[in-house]
Amino acid sequence: MLKQVFAATAIAAMLGMAASAGAADVTDPQIAHIAYTAGQIDVTAAQQALAKSKNPAVIEFATTMERDHKAVNDQALALVKKLNVTPEDNDISKSLTADAQKKHDALGALEGDAFDKAYVENEVAYHKAVNGALETTLIPSADNAELKVLLETGLTLFKQHQEHAEHLASSVK
């Protein structure tokens, strides 16, 4: 449990860096990269859960995460192509990737119920952190109206994911 809290804190801190940088310092290409990276991290986590879990509820949840985050990332890629914008890697997206790899490795060492519980708890914490960053930083900082709409649409969906994860966490032992 302490590891999950630490991982969630680290992710929230990385996403919070965008807020502390100020709206003028986070550009649309950086926002696009942060949002895509966050989505890809959840796709990878879902794929790990699908490979490791035997719990039908966890498998159903992971299937939803993989499908929905891939779909939003596909929409993001289509938008940046349409706008002729190149997403810009940045310290936040690099840190998110590094932290996600550590979490992936830690989850990889777990099996059975211990894996399921840790995966679901991480999903709760991760969605809280991403949703908070979308609400307080990424959406308000986005200059392009279409990017802002995509982020808002994602936020609506990801709030549902958070609720689903919280409900699942109460039943996974």
Q: What is the pLDDT of residue 19?
A: 47
Distances (CA, A) of 52 to 17, 67, 100, 117, 127: 32, 18, 17, 12, 21
> For residue 138, which of 121, 120, 150 has the smallest C-alpha distance?
150
Question: How far is C-alpha 161 from the geometric centre of its chain's CA atoms?
Answer: 10
* Cα dihedral 94/77/156/45 (nearest 10): -50
Q: Give the chain's mean pLDDT.
A: 88
- Quick one: average pLDDT of 53-74? 97
Task: Specify the amino acid at residue 31.
Answer: I
**Residue 18 predicted with pLDDT over 90:** no
Q: What is the pLDDT of residue 25?
A: 82
**Residue 3 predicted with pLDDT over 60:** no
Q: What is the pLDDT of residue 15?
A: 56
pLDDT digits (tens, 9 = 90+) for 142-161: 999 999 999 999 999 999 99
Residues 6+ apart with CB under 8 A from 148: 139, 142
**Residue 13 predicted with pLDDT over 60:** no
Give me the domains of the chain, ranges plus CATH numbers.
Answer: 2-169 (1.20.1260.10)
Q: What is the pLDDT of residue 173?
A: 80
**Residue 2 predicted with pLDDT over 80:** no
